[in-house]
Amino acid sequence: MPDPTLDALRRYAIARTLFKPTTLPRAIQRLGFVQADPIRAPARAQDLTLRHRVKDYRAGDLERRYPRLAVEEDCLVNYGFLPREHLALMHPREPRRVWDAATRRRAADVLAFVREHGPVHPREVDQHFAHGRVRNYWGGSSNASTQLLDGLHYRGLLRVQRRDGGIRVYEAVAHPSADDSAEGRARRAAALVDLVVRKYAPLPAASLTYLARLLGYGAPHLSTQIQAALRQARESLPSVRIDGVTWYWPAGENPKTRRHAVDDAVRLLAPFDPVVWDRRRFELLWGWTYKFEAYTPAAKRTFGYYALPMLWCDRVIGWANVAVRDGRVEAELGYAERAPKDRVFRNALDHELQRMTCFLD
């Protein structure tokens, strides 16, 4: 069989992740990981991602249903939501930054407090201990208690039990013991590499390397084993070389299969949707550069504060900044080249804005 073309890879990239809408648990299981972001413009990134993949999904459904799902808030290549069994691949997690003795004592006191009181809001911990404020990762300041809770969560001693008004409420947790032998670590590292390949395929070689490096966020203690798993993946995964770029995808999948036909719908995607998350792959597949500009000064923005990439058929043709004004969903559109003029596109865009209206309820 001839090698797949770039057009085939493009259709494959869309079809394998924009599957037929299903239930919320099944969608998260199939995605493997859903990146989270707190900005609402017009909804959080996790909701914007799930609305295309969960039947009758409404903004906030994940947060409302989270306490009843076998899903965890935790880290993989960044922060988000993932099936509970994937945590077993990363815990017990050993952070690169070791706490000093004083921080360990404060963290032990906080952990004892949570174990005694059950699920706690960071405000309760701060009121009890009055740890004060410290410099945070972004150069500002935050409650020291909040950082201790975050650190205990990262180390697998706490989990997010629910959110109250968007704020994480923590409870104590004990993860199952993991096989920490050399063979056990190698198996977990290989499973993590397989997880990101299945989520973001087809992957250019440079993106595969980049994702393996990002796994150091979720599993810093497995970095050596992840590099070994990456080398094995390069040797064993199916691949093709197109215009000097080597592409990889999971074993057992075929980018050329006829079921990868795409529909003629318009979809406004989250900036972190699997279709567009990898900016290197984005440029190779769609032929232009998309930038997430929420943290770019307004005067320097090209696309807008929270531009949603606009997928039509098998092309990402532009973007939309969506807002709700006077109870109506409004979209400011931009195009990589020029706006399609035909009625089919206009009707598809209208339908997408109607779906966005229902999603935002």
Longest distance between any two alpha carbons in the chain, whole Å: 67
pTM above 0.85, yes or no: yes
Lowest mean pLDDT segment, chosen from 54-68, 125-139, 225-239: 125-139
Q: Give the Cα-Cα-Cα angle 52, 54, 55 (nearest 5 degrees).
A: 105
| Assigned domain for 226 exists | no
The range of the structural domain enclosing residue 268 comes to 258-360
Q: Read off the DSSP letter of residue 98.
A: -
Q: CA Rg, the chain, in Å? A: 22
pLDDT at 159: 97
Which residues, in sequence order, are CB contacts of 170 under 8 Å at separation 6+? Answer: 114, 119, 120, 122, 149, 152, 153, 158, 159, 160, 161
Tell me the percentage of the chain whose pLDDT exceeds 90. Answer: 84
361 pLDDT band, cuts 50/70/90, is: confident
pLDDT at 92: 86
| Assigned domain for 108 exists | yes
Q: How far is CA 194 from CA 83, 184, 212, 248, 249, in A?
A: 15, 15, 10, 11, 10
| Assigned domain for 271 exists | yes
pLDDT higher than 50, residue 136:
no
How large is the average pLDDT for residues 203-231?
97
How large is the average pLDDT for residues 26-54?
97
Alpha-carbon span 58 to 361, nearest angstrom: 7
Kindly state the tokens that stand for 70. Answer: 């076998």
Instruction: Quick: pLDDT tens for 91-102.
Output: 989 898 899 999
| Assigned domain for 8 exists | no
Last residue of a domain, one of 149, 172, 195: 172
Last residue of a domain, one of 172, 194, 216: 172
pLDDT higher than 80, residue 134:
no
Between strands 79-83 and 34-35, the pairing is antiparallel
Q: 170-195 burial by CB neighbour count: b if 16+ within 10 A, else e?
A: bebbeeeeeeeeeeebbebbbebbbb
φ, ψ for residue 179 (rounded to 5)? Answer: -70, 105
Lowest mean pLDDT segment, chosen from 135-144, 163-172, 202-211, 320-329: 135-144
What's the domain count of the chain? Answer: 2
Q: What is the DSSP string of 133-149?
A: EEE-TTSSEEEHHHHHH
| Assigned domain for 243 exists | no
Alpha-carbon span 194 to 229, nearest angstrom: 9
Q: What is the DSSP string of 69-82?
A: SSEEEEESSSEEEE
pLDDT at 277: 96
pLDDT higher than 60, residue 135:
no
| Assigned domain for 244 exists | no
Lowest mean pLDDT segment, chosen from 45-49, 142-146, 238-242: 142-146
| Assigned domain for 299 exists | yes
End-to-end CA distance of the chain: 48
**pLDDT, averaged across the chain:** 93
CATH code of the domain in which 149 resides: 1.10.10
| Assigned domain for 305 exists | yes
Last residue of a domain, one of 172, 196, 226: 172
Instruction: Quick: pLDDT tens for 3-26.
Output: 899 999 999 999 999 999 999 999
Q: How far is CA 298 from CA 80, 165, 182, 322, 323, in A?
A: 27, 28, 50, 16, 17
292 pLDDT band, cuts 50/70/90, is: very high
pLDDT at 131: 60
Question: What is the side-by-side order of every strand in the sheet holding 266-268?
Answer: 266-268, 308-312, 315-325, 328-335
pLDDT at 132: 53
